[in-house]
Amino acid sequence: MENNSYTIELYDLEENDHILINRATEIIQKSYSQEHGNKVSCALMTADGKIFEGISIQRGTVTNCAEAGAISSMTIDDPNNKIELIVAVRGKNQSVIPPCGICRELLLTTCPEAYAIVKICDNKTNYNDDNNCNEEQMLKKVKHNPIYKKIKIKSLLPYPYLSTHSKVVLT
């Protein structure tokens, strides 16, 4: 059987990109609430440098993701604006998390060329220089020295379903 491999490209963060992580972290620090389901925050930057924020809301069985809130705020300001970069931060640990499955589709149909910030937790090769580092120590290092990368939204959802009225053109 022929192996048609799929390569995912990761990009280094630029200095300015950390502003978004800091902004999302501030939001969750300020507004985290188990009771109201405010467990994930989001900050996005548009192509023209504006920042919009969102926080997750959970009511009964309904959850509205933080990303949807941030996109909603951006749309109020300018429905034609484009997302450049987006990040979500979860919980009291303030850990960067990738978009959930629903948000991957939401983001893909909103702005497939945008980037999401992801935390690389299992890139053991980054710690190969430390020969005395066992698995447990390595995981501890990753936790305390997270590696952030950028990934294109369209790479997060390969072979997507797109409805017939979708305006998204994937290259």
How near is the Cβ of 106 to Zn ion at its closest, in Å? 7
How near is the Cβ of 56 to Zn ion at its closest, in Å? 8
Residue 103 in the binding site for Zn ion (CB under 5 A): yes
Asked whether the beta carbons of 52 and 46 are under 8 A apart, the reply is yes
Q: Which of 10, 51, 97, 100 binds Zn ion (CB under 5 A)?
A: 100
**Closer CB to Zn ion, residue 66 or residue 142?**
66
In the numeric block, the tokens 């109020």 are attached to: 76
Which residue from 99, 90, 105, 85 is spatially nearest to 150, judged by alpha carbons? 85
Residue 116 in the binding site for Zn ion (CB under 5 A): no
Spatial distance between the Cα atoms of 137 and 28, rounded to a whole number of angstroms: 28
**Closer CB to Zn ion, residue 70 or residue 142?**
70
Residue 65 in the binding site for Zn ion (CB under 5 A): yes
Residue 97 in the binding site for Zn ion (CB under 5 A): no
Which residue from 55, 80, 79 is spatially nearest to 68, judged by alpha carbons? 55
- The H or E element containing residue 28 is helix 18-31
**Closer CB to Zn ion, residue 98 or residue 139?**
98
User: Interface with Zn ion by CB under 5 A: which residues?
Assistant: 65, 100, 103
